[in-house]
Amino acid sequence: MLEWWEAVVLGIVEGLTEYLPVSSTGHLIIAQYLVGIDESPALSAFEICIQGGAILAVLGLYRRRVVQMWQGLLGKDVSGLHLLINLVIAFIPAAVVGLLCSGFIKNYLFNARVVMLAWAVGGIAILLYVRQREKSGRKNEGHSLEQLSPRGAFAVGLMQCVAMCPGVSRSLMTMLGGLAVGLSLSAAVEFSFLLGLITLGAATAHDAVKYGTDMVQQIGWTSMLIGTFVAWASSIVAVKWMVGYLNRHSLSIFGWYRLFAAAVMLVLICYGL
């Protein structure tokens, strides 16, 4: 059984990092190593399923958008329907690639060296992008979500597929994808969060069905509920902080943080991670 305090640690790590462009997977690998938790299929599924807490956090924080999309589905809000269609279009590439390549990804890419490399490359990419955007004088310019085209949404979806490599970060790729197709930074962040509702929700449902019995037996209901609750609470803190921070600053802090995290991972690898 997973101890309750171990579930708290994993819940905090998951919640704080899921929606930030820093990769929750990489942080969970480090957390497992430091706490001394042995890897298992049930634990991997648990780390996916506690994303449910992060999903609930965004559902609450962006409930107006969720209601707008529901109204659109009922034919009462054109903008809401447009947003919902774009989110579904953006989700399709990841759904296809995930079904076709999930075995390869878990068997060959879920290791510390891949995470370290992805953290470093992602950090450099952020810093280069911020520098280019500042030189162009377009720090906060861009389109709103209502102006995002289906083609642009599909492009963001393709970028999300890259994040299936551990350490890349789904949030990072979808944010950069949104910026690349012309969204403003705030719109790109919001689209990333909303797309996460579908993508993370699908992954959570898949692993809950496939490994549900194993999780109950090896993790325990108490630890599962604690981890999910802590992930929900810490996600609220992380999302609110990031939205407020990016209203005044650029993404560069995350670039530097990723480079620092890559250096930490290198040290751990040298010590036998």
Report pLDDT digits (tens) over 121-178.
999 999 999 998 888 766 667 899 999 999 999 999 999 999 999 999 999 999 999 9
Average pLDDT score over residue span 195-214:
90
What pLDDT is stored for residue 26 in this prediction?
Answer: 84
Retrieve residue 159's tokens.
């970028």
What pLDDT is stored for residue 109 in this prediction?
Answer: 86
What global pTM score does this model have? Answer: 0.91
Q: Is the pLDDT of residue 117 over 90?
A: yes
Residue 273 binned pLDDT confidence (cut-offs 50, 70, 90): low
Q: Is the pLDDT of residue 108 over 70?
A: yes
C-alpha dihedral (253, 259, 262, 266), degrees to nearest 10: -140
Residue appearing with tokens 């994808």: 177
Give pLDDT tens digits for 3-36.
Answer: 999 999 999 999 999 999 999 988 998 888 888 8
What pLDDT is stored for residue 174 in this prediction?
Answer: 97
What pLDDT is stored for residue 41 in this prediction?
Answer: 83
What pLDDT is stored for residue 33 in this prediction?
Answer: 81
Q: Is the pLDDT of residue 1 over 90?
A: no
153 close to 87: Cβ distance less than 8 angstroms: yes
